[in-house]
């Protein structure tokens, strides 16, 4: 029979290492995308926000303002604003299902800054079929915006309606700027005691209004500013004049389009904090530590350690094991007589003591060979069996061992 070669082994260590490395990287990338996905998304999903290129979106006015070299910002985070000068006009584009508490929190965080709140109007469905492009919508149904999107403590009691009116062109006069505004048929309007009409609509309502106590503006008809307004040159001109007039009236230094109300960033979570400064450094250190631990577990340093025997094979091990058994049984003091006899016999045999001597005579013979200042072997031999504890036993046994070393020079 021929032995199998290394090439026949289906588990190649390098292949397994590559699989593990790819799995670790994929796992980290997955959680990074989960945490940062809303902030990295292109946003072209057909919604009514500043990233959408669909009909109800506002990517057109954003692109136009950027081409006009205006100071445009797309906000993906929620921060408390404290303005002194250069206040930007914050444009909010909530959807019909946006939480009213989020809108109120956004207005509270804006402080003394101006806000333009564009009400939603269209309930859309994604487009399907041949010729459909990503980010487009199939069709939409106009429905009045819910009044809960306008907190009463800021806007008072309001009424939102879509009167049956024909398409018409009205003249707007905002911030001493007069321009024509082509209103679509059934333009959405808003009315309330705490609102001042800037651009009138049908049945006494307003398509653009401003609160009487703060610089909060409400655009009830989103088709005057969204991508539908860029279907013709006149509507696009009116949209540009409208956003510029509102900014001039609010004395704003730029435009900031909020994206957090539409689900693009702004969420606070420990997972997202792990991948943004300043905590990204800790995350990288933890990842590096994990990779080092994996490498240390993979690589072996030195030869493989073989398990040692439970009972080593040697006289020293036998003595150690015997001593350990005596210690565990707590019978140390019972070996005093045997220890004295072993020491006496070893000394007498090595020094050639006369034969026929008794134990006491042998002890006296050993004492005659000791120095005058040395401890008496006979005294220690009588005292050791009478030891009351292990401390006394060890002291006398060590003294006997020292006498043997002195006489026999055997260490």
Q: Are 55 and 137 in contact (CB under 8 A)?
A: yes
pLDDT at 11 over 90: no
Q: Which is nearest to 78 in space by CA: 53, 106, 55, 98?
A: 106
Identify the band that residue 362 occupies on the pLDDT scale cut at 50, 70 and 90.
Answer: confident
Mean pLDDT, residues 311-334: 74
pLDDT digit string (tens) for 57-111? 898 999 999 998 889 988 877 777 666 677 899 999 999 989 999 999 989 888 8
pLDDT at 31 over 80: no
Identify the band that residue 118 occupies on the pLDDT scale cut at 50, 70 and 90.
Answer: very high
Per domain, the residue ranges of the chain are 42-263, 315-408
Among 173-182, 239-248, 255-264, 333-342, whose mean pLDDT is lowest?
Answer: 333-342
CA dist 309 and 333 (Å) reads: 30
pTM above 0.75, yes or no: no
CA dist 121 and 155 (Å) reads: 19
How many CB atoms neighbour CB 271 within 10 A? 12
Identify the band that residue 273 occupies on the pLDDT scale cut at 50, 70 and 90.
Answer: low
Return the half-sphere exposure (C-beta side, CA atoms, 13 A cut-off) of residue 378.
Answer: 13
- Residue 19 CA to its chain's centroid (Å): 25
Instruction: Please report the pLDDT score of residue 94 as a whole number.
Output: 93
Which residues, other chains included, contact 317 with Cβ-Cβ below 8 Å and sequence gap of 6+?
311
Q: Are 199 and 219 in contact (CB under 8 A)?
A: no
Peptide bond into 278 cis (omega under 30): yes
Instruction: Please report the pLDDT score of residue 34 as a whole number.
Output: 62
Instruction: Please report the pLDDT score of residue 393 as a whole number.
Output: 80
CA dist 110 and 89 (Å) reads: 10
pLDDT at 267 over 70: no
CA dist 30 and 369 (Å) reads: 88
How many CB atoms neighbour CB 398 within 10 A? 10
Mean pLDDT, residues 290-302: 73
Q: For the chain, what is the mean pLDDT?
A: 81
Q: How far is CA 209 from CA 2, 107, 219, in A?
A: 92, 16, 7
Identify the band that residue 217 occupies on the pLDDT scale cut at 50, 70 and 90.
Answer: very high
Instruction: Please report the pLDDT score of residue 1 as a whole number.
Output: 43
pLDDT at 205 over 60: yes
DSSP state of 369: T
Q: Which is nearest to 403 in space by CA: 368, 353, 352?
A: 368
User: Residue 260 in 3-state DSSP?
Assistant: helix
First to last CA, the chain: 60
């Amino acid at each position: 029979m021929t032995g199998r070669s290394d090439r026949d082994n289906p588990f190649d260590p390098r292949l397994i290492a590559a699989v593990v490395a790819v799995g670790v990287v994929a796992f980290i990338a997955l959680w990074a995308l989960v945490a940062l996905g809303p902030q990295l998304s292109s946003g072209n999903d057909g919604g009514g926000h500043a990233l959408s290129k669909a009909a109800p979106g506002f990517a057109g006015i954003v692109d136009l303002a950027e081409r006009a070299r205006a100071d445009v910002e797309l906000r993906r985070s929620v921060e408390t604003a404290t303005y002194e000068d250069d206040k930007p006009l914050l444009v909010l584009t909530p959807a019909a299902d946006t939480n009213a508490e989020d809108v109120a929190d956004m207005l509270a965080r804006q402080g003394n800054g101006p806000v333009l709140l564009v009400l939603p109007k269209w309930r859309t469905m994604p487009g399907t079929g041949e010729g459909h492009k990503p980010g487009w919508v199939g069709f939409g149904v106009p429905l009045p915006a819910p009044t809960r999107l306008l907190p009463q403590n800021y806007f008072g009691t309001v009424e939102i309606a879509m009167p049956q009116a024909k398409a018409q062109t009205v003249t707007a006069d905002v911030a001493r700027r007069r321009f024509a505004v082509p209103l679509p048929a059934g333009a959405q309007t808003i009315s309330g005691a705490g609102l001042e009409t800037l651009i009138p609509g049908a049945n006494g309502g307003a398509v653009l209004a401003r609160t009487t106590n703060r610089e909060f503006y409400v655009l009830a008809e989103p088709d005057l500013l969204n991508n539908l307004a860029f279907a013709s040159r006149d509507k696009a001109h009116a949209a540009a004049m409208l956003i510029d007039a509102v900014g001039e009236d609010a004395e704003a230094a730029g435009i900031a389009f909020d994206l957090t109300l539409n689900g693009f960033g702004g969420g606070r979570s420990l997972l997202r904090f792990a991948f943004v400064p300043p905590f990204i450094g800790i995350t990288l250190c933890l990842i590096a530590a994990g990779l080092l631990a994996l490498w240390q577990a993979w690589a072996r340093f030195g030869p493989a350690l073989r398990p040692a025997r439970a009972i080593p094979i040697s006289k020293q091990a036998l003595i150690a094991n015997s001593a350990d058994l005596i210690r565990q049984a707590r019978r140390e003091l019972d070996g005093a007589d045997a220890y004295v006899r072993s020491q006496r016999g070893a000394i007498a045999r090595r020094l050639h003591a006369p034969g026929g001597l008794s134990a006491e005579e042998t002890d006296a013979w050993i004492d005659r060979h000791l120095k005058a200042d040395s401890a008496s072997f006979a005294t220690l031999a009588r005292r050791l069996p009478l030891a009351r504890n292990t401390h006394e036993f060890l002291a006398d046994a060590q003294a006997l061992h020292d006498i043997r070393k002195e006489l026999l020079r055997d260490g």
